[in-house]
Amino acid sequence: MPKQTLEVRGRRAREERRRAEKALKRRLEGAEAAAAVEEAADILEGDASQVGEGALPDTGWRGLVAGVQRGGVLTVVVGGRTYGASLARELARDGYSLTVGDRVQAVLDTPGRVTIVDVEPRRTKLARVREDRSRRSAFAREEAVLAANVDVAVIVAAVADPPFHPKLVDRFLVICQYGGIRPILCLNKCDLVASPPDLSIYAGLGLPIVYASAATGTGLDDLRGLLAGTVAVFTGHSGVGKSSLVNALLGEEQQAVGTVGAGYRRGRHTTTSSSLLPLDDDSYLVDTPGVRSLGIWEINPRTLAAYFPDFDPIVPGCRFSTCSHVHEPACAVKEAVEDGEIARQRYESYLRLMEG
Binding site for ligand GDP (CB under 6 A): 188-189, 191-192, 213-215, 238-244, 257-258, 263
Terminal CA-to-CA distance of the chain, rounded, Å? 20
Q: Tell me whether residue 209 or residue 315 sits nearer to ligand GDP (CB atom).
A: 209
Beta bridge partners of 86: 115
Q: How far is the CB of 228 from ligand GDP (least distance, A)?
A: 22
Question: Are 160 and 183 within 8 A, CB to CB?
Answer: no
Interaction between residue 245 and Zn ion (CB under 5 A): no
Q: Which among Zn ion, ligand GDP, none contacts residue 263 (Cβ within 5 to 8 A by kind)?
A: ligand GDP
Q: How far is the CB of 309 from Zn ion (least distance, A)?
A: 16
Q: Tell me whether residue 83 or residue 308 sits nearer to Zn ion (CB atom).
A: 308
> What contacts 112, CB < 8 A, 6 or more positions away?
83, 84
Interaction between residue 323 and Zn ion (CB under 5 A): yes
Q: What is the CA radius of gyration of the chain?
A: 22
Interaction between residue 336 and Zn ion (CB under 5 A): no
Per DSSP, the residues of 101-132 read T-EEEEEE-STTEEEEEEEPPPS-EEEEEEE-
Q: Which among ligand GDP, Zn ion, none contacts residue 325 (Cβ within 5 to 8 A by kind)?
A: Zn ion
**Total site size for Zn ion, rule CB under 5 A:** 5
Q: How far is the CB of 224 from ligand GDP (least distance, A)?
A: 16
Q: Report which of 34, 40, 27 is spatially closest to residue 124, judged by C-alpha positions.
A: 27
Q: Tell me whether residue 206 or residue 258 sits nearer to ligand GDP (CB atom).
A: 258
Alpha helices in the chain (DSSP H): 3-29, 31-44, 89-93, 166-179, 200-204, 220-227, 242-250, 332-339, 344-354
Residues in the chain: 356
In the list 23, 331, 343, 353, the residue contacting Zn ion (rule: CB under 5 A) is 331
Q: Tell me whether residue 204 or residue 289 sits nearer to ligand GDP (CB atom).
A: 289
Q: Tell me whether residue 82 or residue 324 sits nearer to Zn ion (CB atom).
A: 324
Task: List interacting residues with Zn ion (CB under 5 A).
Answer: 318, 323, 325, 331, 333
